[in-house]
């Protein structure tokens, strides 16, 4: 390996550094150039060079060297990636010149025995060893060793880039490993499922092949007239309908038996010996198709081509490097082709001007240097080809604006349309076909203040403030219309859509989740209050992230109806959040930006961030994260996240030539950023009206004329399977391109059903009626119209005879419902909706409260809650006719049971002063949702009789208060000025040897406003590091007790400080004085396993209510992710439950999704539980019980 040493010599400016290289002239000389980014310098005769003006804001970059040797060959080398130190000296390290790896003589798998796999998705790691001419051997299994894997049938067995085989369906496939033209193969047989006709071909394979699984004769037939029966072909892995499966000119029978030519070859490989010459051609030419040394490739070559003939490279300043790929293809005499791009095949590359076009370590890859034109000469044997290369440069630039009526709070982009959440002007639809001249083409007015929007397929989901979420049909963008509305408990201000579910950031009401499978009839399915003042939300796979106040929280949403809180971190003022590939990107306003990784343990690990700018919104694309921000005079900032473990602020795009505005929201496509902005400065999180515009900036120019198609694979559905008529599927593809993906088209049964132009590529699709199967594929097309099609995935479509959303087989075998009756139990709800709502489709009164499920849904009560008793008021503060009430008093009404958050609003408590004048104030739920608090905005008038009107609120089952109620009180001439204080704290001040799993508790002298307790007003610091301890803060139902549960156990032997700040207020608005307390943890780590303190049912208990909630209490805080291991069984069948954890992480609650069956035995199994230190429950505990016939209608839960 040749090396050159780089050392920094010069420093030339604030953001630039210069490099100097001095090395032995026999390694680098005047025939070499050095390239860094698109900057090029000739090496001097003595091997030295200097390169000024290298930007320091590009993150990890590398230096490349290209040298012309005396024999005319061009060799290339490059350094490892490095960062340029701003205003400092950077040591780059060695430039490593390419050294051609020796070509192996042969490749071998660890064994040639057939690999048998008998379970769906079963995996097996292959091992490949290379044997070389000098007698050495090397493990070549890993893909980065240059080994390429392929399968002759990906639908039967697929193989990863590192040689891991995955079983997909019954059948036989051949897995090949190829390196530098040397080939090894291994047979894989997948055996899954039964064989009803005992003909030797599994049933699902027969269905896939179009054979009859009940007819043994069709396995004996020769369907392609090649002399082999269907069974023989299935066993060989060949195509029963294609006489020459591998297309090498030899029939399958001829290859398997030797035929007249005497050579037994592989019928699944066109080139059995891997020498680049097909088996048929070798036999015709007289060479041995099983001996890679017997044939000379040149003798069989017809002609060679190089593509593209003209190479256009655009150096985008945002990317730092630009390259294109040349492909050299040899066409054989029989019309087949062979890849000759690698230099090991005899191909050589030279450039006329290495300052414009130069090379890297990958053969055929051409890097852009300076702008200009040059040529690349490609030679192979006696043939020579000239490729014209043009290099251009593009810098990000603002293009246009369009004024938005109302107030442009946020934006989403879908195809050539931008959708704006426009305050009191609802939804605005903007055509961006011409990004230089955007125009409003449609709009929809709403009742609320539109704050956020997401466009998915034919619908836009609009967070409409106090009016909830509006679902808008945008199938005709010029004539968009509202089709339904989702009522939310708070102020809907952000949302995220995943499949059939919408996740809503609902302000003070927390997070709400809705089922929108039928956009015309959506309904709520879940919520969580682990986070309040929620402003931003994002979902990906089984994770949901949300920001509120100063906190980022992570949830598991494997069951969307029951989000499971995993961990939280305090950041500072937060505004919005995104998630991509299990990395979380936060717009943290004055705290700047933050990036976290989701760990395997469900924790949030900080990876980067700084305060360079002040972001309000965030959007993620491949390798970059963009922010709408307001610190700079109108820019959009972007962070380089190509390596999300080491992100860095790279640059901004200047928008100020088109006005002085500040960002409110942002969306991206492959080339442009779309930013909503308010004039001068943004003063609040959202508004109804204001001077706002949509700005459009181009951050990348994409010229895709090089003929390289994108890569694409189906993510959902990934494998063959089963679906149901009328089911809503999410079609998802992973697509990548050398330049950029322009669009991904989704086809079902060869008909285009949807298109997505923005990452991630995902669209909804409804399975059609009266089809036996649907064949799904995706076609990715780049900006040069080059396209690639995925492997087709076939789903069997089960009938849904009654149109209730459940397949006939599913009804018969899973739900035991009538496949010919859409409403099996006659309760007014179709079976599919009942299953989606989590109620029993076989019982018209799922909760046993005497009311049909359909009647309850229509009346707004909960068909899964048997409570039919209306809430009542049990106390008021002040009491009725009380006098001398302090003028700053809060009014509290206590109810007999917990209330529905959606029913509590500004009308729930109304206060009127002298003459019936309304007293302005805020209404909120406290006290475990059993108390409604009214806080006046200002002092109430003294010596005045006030009337309080209690509005119609509802309990959690939907039962309304019987009627409005009223009472009066009279103010005096006093004001409560007593500050709240700490009356008790555990651990006590200056405590020593505190256990690392301590339950930290603070008791206040009086009731406090729960919303005043935040991660800014109450927190714990490690005195050694001055870092905050992340965890969950909770104000108990008595409104006086505050608890803190850390995400992980405290570190041993550390002094910690508890801070209680003046932000904590009592119900009169008085702030406490700042206080802090110390404690020091013991030096003993927590090595004690958690114990079960209690379970809400006893071993052998009978007559357990069928709607029982099962509580498991532990002696210490436990890892919330581990509670997913608690399961409820009916015999060997797992019972579906909603799982929640208490705020102190000591109690796990299981609520069965459907009422338990009466007089039936169940077993609760608690296992795999770990505490915050990772200690596991020593042994599993099983508790068996039997249900009765009754439901529990008392307030509370078991």
Question: Scanning the structure block, which residue is given the tokens 């890097």?
Answer: 367
Whether residue 461 is found in the same domain as residue 313: no
* 8 A C-beta contact, residue 1119 and residue 1172: yes
CATH number at residue 790: 2.60.40.10
Residue 210 CB neighbour total at 10 angstroms: 10
* 8 A C-beta contact, residue 229 and residue 243: no
39 vs 355: CA distance, rounded Å: 8
* Average pLDDT along the chain: 89
Whether residue 535 is found in the same domain as residue 449: yes
pLDDT computed for residue 100 by the predictor: 54
Q: Two tokens at 1101?
A: 């208990």
Whether residue 1007 is found in the same domain as residue 949: no
Q: Which of 401-405, 864-868, 918-922, 1160-1164 has the lowest mean pLDDT?
A: 864-868
| Residue 67 CB contacts under 8 Å (≥ 6 apart), including other chains | 28, 29, 31, 32, 33, 74, 75, 76, 77, 97
pLDDT computed for residue 87 by the predictor: 63
Whose CA is closest to 1198, among 1103, 1111, 1101?
1111
Residue 1020, pLDDT above cutoff 90: yes
Question: Scanning the structure block, which residue is given the tokens 């593509």?
Answer: 307
Residue 968, pLDDT above cutoff 50: yes
pLDDT computed for residue 88 by the predictor: 62
What does the pLDDT look like over 878-898, one tens digit per residue? 999 999 999 999 999 999 999
1077 vs 74: CA distance, rounded Å: 70
Residue 1179, pLDDT above cutoff 60: yes
Residue 1141 lies in a domain: no
Whose CA is closest to 1020, among 933, 1092, 1078, 962?
1078
Domain count, the chain: 9
CATH number at residue 162: 2.60.40.1080
CATH number at residue 599: 2.130.10.10
pLDDT computed for residue 814 by the predictor: 85
What does the pLDDT look like over 430-467, one tens digit per residue? 999 999 999 999 999 999 999 999 999 899 999 999 99
As beta bridge partners, residue 402 has 694
The torsion angles phi and psi of 300, rounded to 5 degrees, stand at: -105, -5
Residue 542 CB neighbour total at 10 angstroms: 13
Whether residue 825 is found in the same domain as residue 938: no
Q: Two tokens at 746?
A: 């989704």
pLDDT computed for residue 101 by the predictor: 65
Whether residue 752 is found in the same domain as residue 843: no
CA atoms within 13 A on the CB side of 1186: 6
Counting residues of the chain whose pLDDT is more than 70, the rounded percentage is 95
Chain-centroid distance, C-alpha 450: 25
For residues 988-998, give the mean pLDDT: 91
Residue 6, pLDDT above cutoff 70: no
As beta bridge partners, residue 214 has none
Whether residue 743 is found in the same domain as residue 839: no
Residue 932 lies in a domain: yes
What does the pLDDT look like over 661-704, one tens digit per residue? 999 999 999 899 999 999 999 989 999 999 999 999 999 887 76
For residues 956-968, give the mean pLDDT: 95
pLDDT computed for residue 13 by the predictor: 31
Residue 1127 lies in a domain: no
Whether residue 925 is found in the same domain as residue 1068: no
For residues 972-991, give the mean pLDDT: 94
pLDDT computed for residue 58 by the predictor: 67
Whether residue 955 is found in the same domain as residue 1013: no
Whether residue 548 is found in the same domain as residue 463: yes
Q: In whole angstroms, how large is the CA radius of gyration of the chain?
A: 34
Residue 484 CB neighbour total at 10 angstroms: 17
CATH number at residue 321: 2.60.40
407 vs 813: CA distance, rounded Å: 53
846 vs 849: CA distance, rounded Å: 8
What does the pLDDT look like over 85-117, one tens digit per residue? 666 666 766 777 765 567 788 899 998 899 999
Final residue of a domain: which of 751, 776, 798? 798
Whether residue 855 is found in the same domain as residue 880: no
Whether residue 674 is found in the same domain as residue 728: no
Residue 615 lies in a domain: yes
Final residue of a domain: which of 1081, 1105, 1135? 1081
Label residue 78 by pLDDT band (50, 70, 90).
confident
511 vs 503: CA distance, rounded Å: 7
The torsion angles phi and psi of 838, rounded to 5 degrees, stand at: 80, 25
Final residue of a domain: which of 234, 267, 299? 299
The torsion angles phi and psi of 637, rounded to 5 degrees, stand at: -95, 150
DSSP per position, 11-72: EEETTEEEEEE---TTTS-TTEEEEETTEEEEPPTTS-EEEEEEESSS-EE-EEEEEE-TTS
Torsion sign over Cα 1151, 1155, 1158, 1162: negative
Q: Is 1039 left (phi over 0), alpha (psi -120 to 50) or beta?
A: left
For residues 252-259, give the mean pLDDT: 88
Residue 36, pLDDT above cutoff 70: yes
Among 1-10, 109-118, 336-345, top mean pLDDT goes to 109-118
Q: Two tokens at 812?
A: 């018969």
Residue 425, pLDDT above cutoff 70: yes
SS3 for 413-467 is EECCEEEEECECCCEEEEECCCCCCCEEEEEECCCCCECEEEEECCEEEEECECC
pLDDT computed for residue 706 by the predictor: 64
* 8 A C-beta contact, residue 526 and residue 561: yes
400 vs 747: CA distance, rounded Å: 35
DSSP structure class, residue 408 = -
115-117 and 182-190 beta bridge pairing:
parallel
Whether residue 451 is found in the same domain as residue 577: yes
1045 vs 997: CA distance, rounded Å: 9
CATH number at residue 887: 2.60.40.1220
Residue 1182 lies in a domain: no
SS3 for 94-134 is EEEECCCCCCCCEEEECCCCCEEECCCCCEEECCEEEECCC
162 lies in which domain range? 104-189
What does the pLDDT look like over 692-733, one tens digit per residue? 999 999 998 877 666 778 889 998 898 888 899 888 888 999
Q: Two tokens at 843?
A: 């019982």
pLDDT computed for residue 99 by the predictor: 59
Residue 1163, pLDDT above cutoff 70: yes
| Residue 880 CB contacts under 8 Å (≥ 6 apart), including other chains | 967, 968, 969
Residue 15, pLDDT above cutoff 50: no
pLDDT computed for residue 86 by the predictor: 66
What does the pLDDT look like over 1134-1153, one tens digit per residue? 998 988 888 788 999 999 98
Label residue 17 by pLDDT band (50, 70, 90).
very low
239 by Cβ neighbours in 10 Å (0-12 / 13-18 / 19+) ranks as buried
What does the pLDDT look like over 289-313, one tens digit per residue? 888 888 888 888 889 999 988 998 9
3-state class of 1031 per DSSP? strand
Residue 662 lies in a domain: yes
Note if the pTM is more than 0.85.
no
What does the pLDDT look like over 349-370, one tens digit per residue? 988 888 899 887 788 989 898 8
Residue 1173 lies in a domain: no
pLDDT computed for residue 923 by the predictor: 93
310-316 and 383-394 beta bridge pairing:
parallel
* Cis, bond preceding 950 (omega within 30 deg of 0): no
74-79 and 397-404 beta bridge pairing:
unpaired
């Amino acid at each position: 390996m040749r090396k050159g040493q780089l050392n920094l010599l010069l420093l030339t400016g604030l953001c630039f550094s210069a490099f100097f290289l001095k090395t032995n002239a026999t390694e680098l000389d005047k025939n070499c150039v050095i390239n860094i980014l698109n900057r090029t310098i000739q090496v001097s005769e003595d091997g030295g060079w200097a390169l000024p003006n290298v930007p320091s804001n590009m993150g990890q970059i590398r230096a490349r060297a290209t040298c012309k040797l005396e024999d005319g060959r061009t060799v290339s080398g490059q350094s490892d990636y490095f960062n340029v130190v701003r205003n400092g000296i950077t040591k780059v390290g060695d430039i490593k010149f390419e050294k051609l790896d020796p070509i192996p003589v042969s490749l071998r798998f660890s064994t040639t025995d057939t690999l048998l796999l008998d379970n769906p998705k079963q995996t097996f790691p292959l091992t490949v060893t290379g044997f070389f001419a000098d007698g050495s051997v090397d493990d070549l299994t890993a893909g980065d060793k240059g080994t390429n894997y392929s399968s002759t049938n990906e639908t039967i067995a697929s193989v990863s880039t590192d040689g891991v085989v995955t079983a997909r369906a019954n059948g036989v496939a051949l897995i090949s490993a190829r390196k530098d033209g040397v080939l090894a193969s291994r047979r894989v047989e997948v055996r899954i499922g039964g064989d009803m006709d005992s003909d030797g071909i599994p049933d699902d394979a027969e269905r896939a092949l179009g054979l009859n699984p009940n007819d043994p004769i069709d396995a004996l037939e020769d369907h392609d007239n090649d002399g082999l029966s269907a069974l023989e072909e299935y066993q060989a892995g060949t195509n029963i309908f294609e006489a020459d499966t591998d297309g090498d000119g030899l029939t399958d029978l001829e290859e398997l038996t030797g035929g007249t030519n005497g050579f037994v070859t592989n019928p699944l490989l066109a080139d059995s010996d891997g020498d680049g010459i097909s088996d048929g051609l070798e036999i015709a030419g007289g060479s041995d198709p099983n001996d890679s040394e017997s044939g000379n490739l040149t003798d069989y070559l017809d002609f060679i081509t190089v593509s593209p003939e003209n190479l256009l490279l655009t150096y985008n300043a945002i990317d730092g490097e630009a390259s294109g790929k040349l492909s050299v293809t040899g066409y054989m005499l029989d019309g087949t082709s062979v890849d000759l791009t690698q230099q090991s095949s005899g191909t050589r590359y030279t450039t006329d001007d290495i300052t414009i076009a130069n090379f890297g370590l990958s053969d055929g890859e051409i890097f852009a240097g300076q702008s200009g034109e040059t040529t690349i000469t490609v030679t192979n044997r006696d043939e020579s080809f000239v490729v014209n290369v043009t290099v251009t440069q593009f810098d990000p630039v603002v293009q246009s604006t369009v004024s938005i009526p109302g107030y442009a709070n946020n934006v989403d982009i879908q195809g050539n349309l931008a959708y704006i959440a426009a305050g009191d002007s609802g939804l605005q639809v903007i055509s961006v076909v011409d990004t230089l001249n955007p125009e409003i083409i449609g709009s929809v007015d709403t009742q609320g203040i539109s704050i956020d929007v997401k466009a998915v397929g034919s619908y836009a989901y609009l967070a409409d403030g106090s009016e909830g979420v509006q679902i808008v049909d945008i199938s005709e963008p010029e004539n968009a219309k509202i089709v339904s509305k989702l009522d939310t408990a708070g102020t809907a201000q952000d949302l995220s859509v995943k499949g059939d579910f919408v996740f809503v950031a609902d302000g003070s009401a927390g997070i709400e989740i809705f089922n929108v499978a039928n956009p015309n009839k959506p309904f709520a399915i879940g919520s969580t209050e682990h986070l309040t003042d929620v402003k931003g939300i994002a979902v990906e796979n089984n994770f949901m992230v949300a920001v509120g106040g100063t906190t980022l929280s992570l949830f598991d949403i494997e069951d969307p109806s029951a989000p499971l809180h995993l961990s939280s971190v305090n950041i500072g003022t937060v505004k919005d959040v995104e998630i991509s590939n299990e990395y979380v990107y936060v717009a943290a306003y004055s705290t700047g930006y933050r990036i976290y990784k989701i760990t395997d343990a469900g924790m949030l690990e900080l990876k980067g961030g700084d305060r360079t700018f002040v972001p309000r919104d965030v959007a993620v694309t491949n390798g970059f994260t963009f922010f709408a921000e307001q610190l700079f005079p109108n820019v959009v900032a972007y962070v380089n996240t190509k390596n999300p473990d080491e992100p860095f602020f790279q640059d901004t795009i200047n928008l100020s030539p088109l006005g002085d505005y500040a960002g409110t929201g942002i969306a991206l496509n492959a080339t442009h950023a779309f930013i909503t902005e308010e004039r001068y400065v943004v003063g609040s999180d959202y508004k109804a009206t204001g001077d706002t515009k949509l700005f459009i900036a181009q951050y990348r120019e994409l010229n895709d004329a090089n003929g390289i198609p994108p890569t694409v694979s189906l993510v959902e559905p990934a494998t063959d399977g089963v679906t149901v008529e009328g089911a809503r599927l999410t079609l998802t593809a992973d697509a990548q391109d050398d330049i950029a993906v322009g669009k991904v088209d989704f086809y079902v049964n060869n008909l285009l059903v949807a298109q997505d132009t923005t990452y991630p590529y995902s669209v909804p699709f409804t399975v059609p009626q009266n089809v036996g199967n649907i064949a799904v594929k995706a076609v990715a097309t780049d900006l040069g119209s080059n396209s690639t099609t995925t492997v087709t995935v076939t789903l069997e479509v089960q009938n849904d005879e009654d149109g209730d959303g459940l397949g006939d087989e599913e009804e018969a075998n899973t739900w035991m419902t009538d496949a010919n009756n859409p409403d099996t139990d006659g309760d007014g709800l179709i079976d599919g909706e009942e299953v989606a709502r989590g109620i029993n489709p076989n019982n018209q009164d799922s909760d046993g409260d005497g009311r049909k499920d359909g009647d309850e849904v229509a009346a707004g009560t909960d068909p899964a809650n048997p409570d039919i008793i209306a809430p009542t008021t049990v106390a008021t503060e002040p009491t009725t006719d009380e006098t001398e009430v302090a003028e700053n008093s809060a009014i509290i009404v206590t109810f007999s049971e917990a209330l529905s958050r959606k029913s509590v609003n500004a009308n729930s408590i109304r206060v009127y002063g002298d003459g019936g004048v309304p007293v302005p104030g805020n209404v909120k739920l406290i006290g475990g949702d059993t108390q409604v608090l009214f806080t006046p905005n200002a002092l109430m008038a003294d010596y005045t009789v006030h009337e309080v009107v209690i509005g119609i609120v509802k309990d959690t089952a939907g039962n309304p208060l019987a009627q409005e109620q009223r009472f009066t009180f009279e103010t005096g001439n006093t004001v409560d000025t007593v500050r709240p204080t700490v009356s008790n704290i555990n651990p006590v001040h200056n405590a020593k040897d505190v256990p690392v799993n301590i339950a930290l508790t603070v008791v206040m002298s009086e009731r406090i406003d729960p919303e005043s307790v935040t991660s800014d007003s109450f927190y714990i610091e490690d005195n050694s590091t001055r870092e905050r301890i992340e965890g969950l803060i909770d104000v108990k139902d008595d409104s006086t007790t505050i608890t803190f549960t850390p995400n992980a156990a405290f570190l041993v032997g550390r002094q910690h400080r508890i801070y209680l700040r003046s932000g904590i207020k009592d119900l009169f608005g008085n702030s406490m004085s700042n206080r802090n307390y110390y404690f020091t943890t013991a030096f003993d780590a927590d090595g004690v396993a958690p114990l079960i303190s209690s379970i809400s049912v006893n071993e052998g208990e009978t007559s357990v209510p069928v709607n029982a909630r099962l509580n498991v209490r532990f002696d210490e805080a436990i890892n919330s992710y581990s509670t997913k291991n608690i399961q409820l069984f009916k015999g060997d069948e797992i019972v579906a439950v909603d799982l929640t954890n208490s705020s102190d992480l000591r109690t796990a609650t299981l609520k069965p999704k459907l009422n338990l069956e009466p007089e039936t035995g169940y077993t609760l199994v608690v296992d795999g539980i770990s505490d915050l230190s990772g200690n596991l429950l020593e042994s599993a505990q099983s508790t068996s019980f039997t249900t009765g016939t009754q439901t529990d209608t008392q307030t509370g839960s078991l």
